[in-house]
Amino acid sequence: MDIKSPSIDYITPWTQKAHSHRLGLLRLDEINPVISGNKWFKLSENISTARNEGKSELLTFGGAYSNHLVATAKAAHDLGWGAIGFVRGLHAQTNDTPTLAACRSFGMRLHFLDREAYGQKDDASFLERLVRSYPKAHIVPEGGNNEAGRKGASSIVGHLPIDVGFVAVAMGTGTTFHGICDALPGPATALGFPALKGGAYLAANELERPNGRLYTDYHFGGFARHTPELLSFMDRFYIEYGIPLDFVYTAKMMFGVFDLLDKGLVPEGGPIVCIHTGGLQGNASLGQRLVQNCKNAC
Ligand SMILES: *Cc1c(COP(=O)(O)O)cnc(C)c1O
């Protein structure tokens, strides 16, 4: 597996008030062209577990544009392991995506489940049946959201400057955010930006996390939704800094960080580092107009 150590790029926000700040971007999007961003960290610990259990296949779940699904397919491919993907939705048109084509090209066997069946993916009885049908497979939940995933995400902290004050991270399942909170040193605070509407449910755990804070207003209509404002932010970000963002997660997080800084809502307290969690292949669903924003993976 060819995984590069991530670098930190520094930028100055273009917005008026924020621009007295310097922001670091931890470029997890650059560690591998396909096993991108936080997905590698969550998978790496799952792969160790699988190895210890003598498994030689990875089985997981995701939608037709899932960053996690394609990262799993490529990781298994590079290990010489098999991969099985359960995909949400049965419709042939919506399931003919570049993401799934890539999964297949890495040898992942895909199975399509209707929404109801997919909804059972975490049920004990469904999982027992899977274990029996795929005895060689280590089962990774959707998004890599398990103990191993969280532990793997903790090691992202090792790539941050030791004096870091704030770490901004986009949230789907919240696994990455929680893993980072687990390992963050001393007074540092993690700022979480749910990419979905009603992200407050992720805050259920916030009470047990004195070092984590959620900002639930930057979902732009919901998961994988976008607005013209968000897309022009992404375009401008690329033009100003040469750094591509993805519209599902990292553009929403960066927009949120700029906005909070502009409103003076991030208190003093050390350097701010934003995690570029990758996911650029997802921009393929936007079609041609943002083609520069998915140069890595499309
Ligand atoms: C999956 C993903 C996230 C969300 O990670 P969670 O651990 O599920 O919260 C954030 N950013 C990108 C680019 C992703 O692909």
Per-residue pLDDT reduced to its tens digit, 90-136: 876 667 899 999 999 999 999 999 999 999 999 999 999 999 999 99
Task: Give the model's confidence band at 294: pLDDT under 50 very low, under 70 low, under 90 confident, else very high.
Answer: very low
Residue 16: pLDDT above 80?
Answer: no
In order of 92, 233, 246, 270, the CA distances from 258 in angstroms are 39, 10, 16, 16
CB-CB contact of 192 with 202 (8 Å): yes
Read off the pLDDT of each residue in 258-265 and give the average, rounded to a whole number: 92
Residue 139: pLDDT above 90?
Answer: yes
- From ligand 1's centre to the CA of 169, what distance in Å? 8
* Residue 295: per-residue pLDDT: 47
Residue type, 119: G
Lowest mean pLDDT among 20-24, 55-59, 265-269: 265-269
Residue 81: pLDDT above 50?
Answer: yes
* Residue 296: per-residue pLDDT: 43
Ligand 1 within 6 A of 246 CB? yes
Ligand 1 within 6 A of 171 CB? yes
What span, in angstroms and rounded, lies between the C-alpha atoms of 223 and 259?
20
* Residue 95: per-residue pLDDT: 75
Residue with the smallest CA separation from ligand 1 atom 10 is 170
- From ligand 1's centre to the CA of 214, what distance in Å? 15
Lowest mean pLDDT among 15-29, 149-163, 233-247, 269-283: 15-29
Read off the pLDDT of each residue in 178-183 and give the average, rounded to a whole number: 96
- Look up residue 5 and give its DSSP letter: P
